[in-house]
């Protein structure tokens, strides 16, 4: 099915959870949500075949999809939440902040001042800062050098993959390792990485110039709606208990399905061993 199902190694994580070979994850028979958004969970630029199942992260997204006329939708939880179930935290020493600047993508570049954003970060963050750039900005030497000259450690989790090429099953594993070495996770827009970090034990923050995409369109209410509806996640300091509750709901971490049920929904075969894997660390509240 759709190549976006393999973005960030999502299908690989789910295959491992289901007891299958994560190096050769089967194709999911449907469309899998691949990033947090405020619409129906699916990318607006993708065309969808009517009647094909849609696998969404949370109940909130399912309700929005239903209200927009989507049918055959199922709540399965985010692949990130399954990864946390597979990789329990070993309670390492945490220090500093990992910062995710809002990024562009292959079809739209980012517009804004990185220098101004750096000034806000330096004024706000008390400890060492790691800046994680999207591969597109990381490849731009001038952008990368701007953050390096500010004294930040600059990294990239890798390329997300596309059209069944350059797939990277290790993407989320690297992201999890980085998040677990930091005390805080921050961005200038509320995004998947902020929710991921919150669920992984980081204190979240959303502040700074939100920047813009070239020819950006405010779908489903845009930034104004995010600031209004997710106001508890906005600011240099937010209530951690509230943020974690929201992250659990948005990532569907309380809605994870048993391996056998996921295999049935995705149209996947049974694993070599008929016994399902034993899970530890699943978020239930």
Q: Which CATH code of 2.60.120, 3.40.50, 3.30.2000, 1.10.3470 fits the domain covering 97-249? A: 3.40.50
Question: Does 177 or 280 have the greater pLDDT score?
Answer: 177
Mean pLDDT value of segment 184-189? 96
Long-range contacts of the stretch 24-29 (C-beta < 8 A, 24+): 25/169, 26/266, 26/267, 26/268, 26/269, 27/1, 28/1, 28/55, 28/266, 28/267, 28/268, 29/1, 29/53, 29/266, 29/267
Q: What is the pLDDT of residue 227?
A: 92
Show the CA angle centred on residue 19, arms to residues 11 and 266, nearest 5°: 45
pLDDT at 139: 85
Over the stretch 198-219, which tens digit does the pLDDT of each residue have?
A: 999 999 999 998 887 655 666 6
Local structure of 92: helix, strand or coil: coil
Residue 55 pairs in a beta bridge with: 32, 74
What are 54-98's pLDDT values in tens digits? 999 999 999 998 888 888 999 999 999 999 999 988 767 899 999
**223-249 pLDDT per residue, tens:** 889 999 999 999 999 999 999 999 999
- Cβ distance 3 to 25 under 8 Å? no
pLDDT for 273 beyond 60: no
Strand ranges, E, within 150-265 = 153-155, 184-187, 203-206, 212-213
Q: Please give the pLDDT value at position 134.
A: 87
CATH 3.40.50-classified regions of the chain: 97-249
- 156 pLDDT exceeds 80? yes
Q: How confident is the model at residue 277 (pLDDT cuts 50, 70, 90)?
A: very low
Closest C-alpha to 179, from 92, 239, 85? 92
Kindly indicate the confidence band of residue 282, based on its pLDDT and cuts at 50, 70 and 90.
very low
Tell me the percentage of the chain whose pLDDT exceeds 90: 59
| Measured CA distances, 13 to 9, 69, 76, 169, 259 (Å) | 6, 30, 13, 7, 12
Per the prediction, the chain carries an average pLDDT of 87
């Amino acid at each position: 099915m759709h190549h976006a199902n393999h973005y960030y190694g999502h299908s690989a994580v789910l295959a491992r959870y289901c007891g299958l070979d994560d190096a050769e994850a089967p194709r999911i028979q449907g469309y899998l949500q691949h990033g947090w958004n405020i619409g129906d969970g699916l990318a607006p630029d993708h065309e969808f075949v009517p009647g094909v199942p849609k696998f969404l992260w949370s109940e909130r997204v399912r309700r929005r999809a239903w209200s927009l006329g989507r049918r055959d939708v199922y709540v399965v939880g985010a692949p990130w939440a399954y990864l946390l179930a597979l990789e329990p935290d070993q309670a390492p020493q945490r220090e500093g902040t990992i910062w995710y600047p809002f990024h562009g993508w292959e079809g739209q570049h980012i517009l804004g001042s990185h220098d101004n954003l750096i000034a806000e970060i330096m004024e706000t963050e008390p400890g060492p800062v790691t800046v994680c750039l999207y591969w597109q900005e990381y490849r731009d030497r001038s952008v990368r050098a701007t953050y390096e000259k500010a004294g930040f450690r600059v990294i990239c989790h890798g390329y997300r993959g596309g059209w069944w090429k350059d797939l990277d099953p290790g993407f989320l594993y690297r992201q999890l390792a980085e998040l677990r070495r930091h005390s805080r996770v921050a961005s200038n827009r509320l995004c998947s990485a902020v929710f991921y970090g919150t669920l992984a034990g980081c204190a979240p923050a959303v502040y700074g110039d939100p920047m813009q995409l070239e020819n950006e369109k405010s779908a489903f209410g845009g930034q104004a709606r995010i600031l209004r509806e997710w106001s508890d996640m906005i600011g240099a300091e937010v209530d951690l208990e509230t943020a974690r509750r929201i992250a659990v709901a948005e990532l569907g971490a309380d809605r994870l399905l048993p391996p056998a049920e996921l295999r049935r929904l995705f149209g996947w075969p049974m694993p070599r061993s008929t016994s399902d894997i034993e899970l530890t660390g699943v978020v239930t509240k």
